[in-house]
Amino acid sequence: MIDCHSILVENLECEGNLSEEEKKIKTLIVSTNREDWVHMIKIIENFNVDIYEFGIGLHPWFIKEEEYSHEEDINYLKELLIQYPKLRIGEVGLDKIRKTTFPFQVKLFQQQLQLASQYQRSISIHCVRAHGTLLMILRELNQQLHIEPPRGFFFHSWSGSDQITKDILRLNRIGRFCYFGISAKINAKNLDLISAIPPDRIITESDLFLNDRNRLDLLQSALKSIQLLYPKLNNEKIEENYQEFLGFQKNN
Ligand SMILES: [Zn+2]
């Protein structure tokens, strides 16, 4: 199975408790704040687990109003991206449930998107009740880029309208690099939402902590929902989408 969005746990001690099936789940593990990045780097340096990919990012829930500390965070993020060329960016994004920090969220999201372009990294994006702003930012990025981005954009547990999904896919430079996450936790029952996404842009995700024992069940249940609409979209095809998002394959 593919899990394109699982959240970091402090150590991988839990690995020992995972079943053989769980150990085969190819997973993008994301982090949300500076403290997590430090744990993540420790994991990368101490474990040689090739089923995992890693993302570092500043998540909107961890953005504070004092702007100064974020500049340091962004600089540190940049250093880590340079030092660890295999790191992805995520999770980052916008969340209007935290209204007070929204202007800072926009700014930091844009900075992290720029870093993704600059260092050619795939990026995992969280968006809650801010899809209009997200589209506006993506349109700006689409205009700025003179060439197609070499790596993908993943909208995890996607909750945007049909129209926004179509508008994103239509962006002439970045649209074909956009992928959408389906999780049993948030959107897998919403077949209207899934039907707006072409099958070659769908990726399963758990949206759960890495040591959550429900991960496998929820991934299987998300895939079942997807297959109600796209019966031929099996695990192998989802994996192709995942690899393309990560930049391992490109079907030019
Ligand atoms: Zn999220």
Query: pLDDT digit string (tens) for 46-99?
Result: 877 789 999 999 999 998 877 667 889 999 999 999 999 999 999 999 999 987
- Residue 143 backbone zone (phi > 0: left; psi -120 to 50: alpha; other: beta): alpha
From the CA of 95, how far away is ligand 1's center (Å)? Answer: 9
- Residue 247 backbone zone (phi > 0: left; psi -120 to 50: alpha; other: beta): left
pLDDT of residue 252: 39
CA 129 to each of CA 54, 93, 190, 196: distance values in angstroms, whole numbers, following the listed order: 26, 11, 17, 18
Q: Is 56 among the domain residues?
A: yes
Percentage of the chain modeled with pLDDT above 90: 76
From the CA of 46, how far away is ligand 1's center (Å)? Answer: 26
From the CA of 246, how far away is ligand 1's center (Å)? Answer: 18
CATH code where residue 44 lies: 3.20.20.140
Structural domains of the chain, count: 1
| pTM attached to this predicted model | 0.94
Q: Which protein residues have a CB closer than 5 Å to ligand 1 (ion)? A: 126
Query: pLDDT digit string (tens) for 147-165?
Result: 666 689 999 999 999 999 9
pLDDT of residue 97: 92
Q: Is 178 among the domain residues?
A: yes
> CB of 1 within 8 A of CB of 235?
yes
Q: Is 80 among the domain residues?
A: yes
Give the Cβ contact number of residue 198 at 10 Å. Answer: 12
- Rounded Cα distance between 162 and 60, Å, is 24
Q: The domain containing residue 123 runs over which residues? A: 2-246
pLDDT of residue 68: 67
Q: Is 238 among the domain residues?
A: yes
Give the mean model confidence (pLDDT) for residues 199-208. 97
Across the chain, what does the average pLDDT equal?
Answer: 91
Sign of the torsion angle spanned by Cα atoms 55, 160, 231, 174 = negative
Helix (H) or strand (E) holding 95: strand 88-95
Q: Is 251 among the domain residues?
A: no
Confidence of residue 219 (pLDDT cuts 50, 70, 90): very high
Confidence of residue 21 (pLDDT cuts 50, 70, 90): confident
| 8-state DSSP, 237 | H
From the CA of 156, how far away is ligand 1's center (Å)? Answer: 7
- Rounded Cα distance between 30 and 14, Å, is 17
Q: Is 252 among the domain residues?
A: no
Q: Is 37 among the domain residues?
A: yes
From the CA of 145, how far away is ligand 1's center (Å)? Answer: 26
pLDDT of residue 251: 46
